[in-house]
Structure 1
Amino acid sequence: MNMSNTNTFAIEKYLAFRHIQYKSVQRLTGGTGNYVWRIVDESGGSQVAKHAEPFVASNPNIPFALDRMDFEYKALMQIPQQIPTDELIGMPKVHCYDAEQHVLTIADGGSRTLKDAYTDPDVGIPEYGRRLGAWLAALHQKSRETNIGNNITAKTIYRHAYTHTSATAKNFDLDPALGERVNTEYGSLLSTDDECVCHGDFWPGNVLVSDRGLTIVDWEMVRRGCGATDVGQFAAEAYLLDRFCGNRGLLSAFLLGYRQAGKLAASFVRRMAIHMGVHLAFWPTVVPWGSSEETKECVVLGNEIMKKATEDNWRDRLKLTPLKDLLKDEL
């Protein structure tokens, strides 16, 4: 059966072809890469179906390699077997994977992300942050020998912010040379990093919150790399949530949870700071969090973190940034 059609009628035909019973099918929004539906059965239970096309679902003019779904399936099958069981945090169970049609059906982790739930007073943000940090550290520590394959697409996409940081700095009357230097020295490492398995897009928007706990989703960008990039990305997004949505302490709790898992090498901390800086220096200009002045504030902070992290006395300099909690007892 050809699944090239990308509307709800097409997925309904596909489900009928696969003899999958359902009561309703709802197209989900919010993502960019794939076509996603929630499938509800007669008993009220639900699962989620993801379908990949060779382009970005939100913009068909942008090509996107289909093997992203193969990598996600591999991650969902392999990684839960390798990291310690956590009663609060997990990954979605795979129901079935149709590699020919690029359809992945998984357990439903809920309809609310941690980003959406951040302002809910009933959601324990500090506890969730600490536990997510510890879980991510376990992923990085336990996957050093895991062969997840060479996800070239993920490596290319992950460098996007590095290649655009210098132009963004110039737009805000900042020195573009810093971004160029960071891209050359650190962005280039993304193609050769090979320390452990990285989620590849680890941020509060890919953590689902439900009464059952937290579910880590969207593993298409999984790759072997440097765990500091996962930490840096989540730290940057946690900072933005704290800064603009209530200062509930997600960043400090997350860094504490990761740091408590073991002593961090100086090179790891420096790399994490660089990545956090790059993220803040670029992504708030794509996904604005506030006014134009507040966007500039984020870009300036990102460049400041990058600058401090590249200086000789970077440890002491970074203690003057939002990363101070990571540096209290390390090194």
Structure 2
Amino acid sequence: MGDSTLDLGTVSGIQTYLSNTPFASDHITILSGGYSNFAYRIKLILPYDGRTTLVVKHSKSYVLAAGQKLPFDTIRQFFEVEALTRVKDVPSSKQLVTVPTVHRFDKQANVIIIDDCGEDALTLKKFMQDGRSNPSLSEEIGRALGEFIGNMHMWGRQNRPVLDLFETNEQGKTISAWATYGRLESTLTGKDDLPVLQDPPIDVSREQLEIIKTLSSERTLDMTSAREWFVMGDFWPGNILITLDNAGALKRIYILDWEVAKTGLPELDLGQFCAEMDLLRRFHPECAESAGKTISTFLGTYSELCRPDISFARRAITHWGVHLVAWVPRIPWGSKEDTRKTVEEGVSLLVEGYTGSDEWVKSSFVKDLC
């Protein structure tokens, strides 16, 4: 299928690439593209396995960050395909949560062809922001996601071949550690020169910075050396697609973008998801109740399935705080004042999560996990 002269970052390149395959298309829509991956919805000239549309994902060997091209090996597609294929085996009571089926993987061209989740599908983030949810539906979503990620963690824990394979995703481990714990100190000291945290500099005590340094070193080592748990690695509302039936009931939830799936710390899947849902309720008051319901049922369901101990809950709330610090000043969410308050609370969460009492953890945002 591959022609190395084609630019698969363009619609014309993709159309030519597909022309002599079972996936030939007469209409292509750009879904996303420009940073490291390009995604397209293709309308097939002839149905394929009963499908009239599919999604094509092409990866480049870089990621654009702050106007620079940083190396990002396309081996990540191999791990994504392996994850999408293997996670289909995760047990589920209702089969409500799933992943797209992979129909073709072209290693030479760095192309994956997968199921189209539907033109009406919305990311969970957009679904919440648009006010499409309600308390009952939010609880159902939280319960389904808590069951899925809990079952996945337990399934992976008992699956040595999966652990052995994903332990080799060194790029995934490194980028996840750098994007979170690796940026804490430079974010808070002003070294990263983030405008929202300047004029004046954010107030973080020397004692807090020392704790953060220790935490960052410890957790980075934990993340890069983890061997016993399989984790999704990028579990947030932007990678979760929601579809409803004609009556407005929850139809299916799809989990996307498994490029950094690896062996890691399961608490971090929970911390990332909850931190992002927390940001929705902080910066979008209209969906605060729905987001809160999703968080509580998500954690409660996970707790019922996996019975995590207090140390697990501690690491989850710590990572919740880490996510607020590392990501909020880099992604526009709201006013400078509100952003700074959120970062300051993130500092409190990660410091208390790391050093506070068990009683504090049990009364924190992750109380439903305890």
TM > 0.5 between the two? yes
Letter in 2 for 1:41: L
> Counterparts of 2:6 and 2:320 in 1: how far apart (Å)?
38
> Counterparts of 1:137 and 1:288 in 2: how far apart (Å)?
31
Segments of 5+ residues of structure 2 without an aligned counterpart are 191-201, 245-250
> Counterparts of 1:270 and 1:103 in 2: how far apart (Å)?
40
Question: Tell me, what secondary structure is at the counterpart of 2:355?
Answer: coil
Letter in 2 for 1:139: M
Question: Alignment partner for residue 174 of structure 1, among 183, 204, 207?
Answer: 204
Letter in 1 for 2:347: N
Shift of 1:33: 2.8
Q: Does 1:155 align with 2:173?
A: yes
Segments of 5+ residues of structure 1 without an aligned counterpart are none
Match of 1:323 in 2: 366
What is the TM-score when the length of structure 2 is the normalising length? Answer: 0.83
Map 1:227-242 to 2 at 5 A.
227-242=266-281
Shift of 1:77: 1.1
> Counterparts of 1:122 and 1:288 in 2: how far apart (Å)?
22
Shift of 1:317: 1.7
- Asked if structure 2 preserves the Cα contact closer than 8 Å seen for 1:118 and 1:125, the reply is no
Question: Alignment partner for residue 183 of structure 2, among 164, 169, 188?
Answer: 164
- Asked if structure 2 preserves the Cα contact closer than 8 Å seen for 1:169 and 1:299, the reply is no
> Counterparts of 1:218 and 1:16 in 2: how far apart (Å)?
26
Question: Alignment partner for residue 38 of structure 2, among 15, 25, 35?
Answer: 35
| CA displacement, residues 56-101 of structure 1 (integer Å, 9 cap, x when unaligned) | 2676611111100000011111121243364311110111111121
> Counterparts of 2:296 and 2:34 in 1: how far apart (Å)?
27
- Taking only the aligned residue pairs, the percentage that are identical comes to 30
- Tell me whether 288-297 or 40-49 shows the greater mean CA deviation: 40-49
Question: Alignment partner for residue 207 of structure 1, among 235, 240, 263?
Answer: 240
Map 1:117-196 to 2 at 5 A.
117-123=127-133, 124-144=137-157, 145=159, 146-147=162-163, 148-149=165-166, 150-160=168-178, 161-171=180-190, 172-175=202-205, 176-196=209-229
> Counterparts of 1:154 and 1:139 in 2: how far apart (Å)?
18
Question: Tell me, what secondary structure is at the counterpart of 1:191?
Answer: helix
Letter in 1 for 2:326: F
- Tell me whether 46-55 or 260-269 shows the greater mean CA deviation: 260-269
> Counterparts of 2:73 and 2:231 in 1: how far apart (Å)?
19
> Counterparts of 1:253 and 1:23 in 2: how far apart (Å)?
44
Q: Aligned Cα RMSD in Å?
A: 2.0
> Counterparts of 2:60 and 2:38 in 1: how far apart (Å)?
8
> Counterparts of 1:269 and 1:324 in 2: how far apart (Å)?
8
Question: Tell me, what secondary structure is at the counterpart of 2:350?
Answer: helix
Map 1:1-331 to 2 at 5 A.
1-2=3-4, 5=7, 6-29=9-32, 32-42=35-45, 45-56=52-63, 61-84=69-92, 86-110=94-118, 111-123=121-133, 124-144=137-157, 145=159, 146-147=162-163, 148-149=165-166, 150-160=168-178, 161-171=180-190, 172-175=202-205, 176-211=209-244, 212-245=251-284, 246-247=287-288, 248=290, 249=292, 250-311=294-355, 313=357, 315-327=358-370
What is the TM-score when the length of structure 1 is the normalising length? Answer: 0.92
Shift of 1:154: 0.7
Letter in 2 for 1:284: V
Note closer, same or farther for the CA distance 1:324–1:31 as it changes in structure 2 (3 Å cut): farther
> Counterparts of 2:5 and 2:267 in 1: how far apart (Å)?
38
- Asked if structure 2 preserves the Cα contact closer than 8 Å seen for 1:3 and 1:10, the reply is no
- Asked if structure 2 preserves the Cα contact closer than 8 Å seen for 1:305 and 1:318, the reply is no
Question: Tell me, what secondary structure is at the counterpart of 1:260?
Answer: helix
What is the number of residues matched between the two proteins? 326
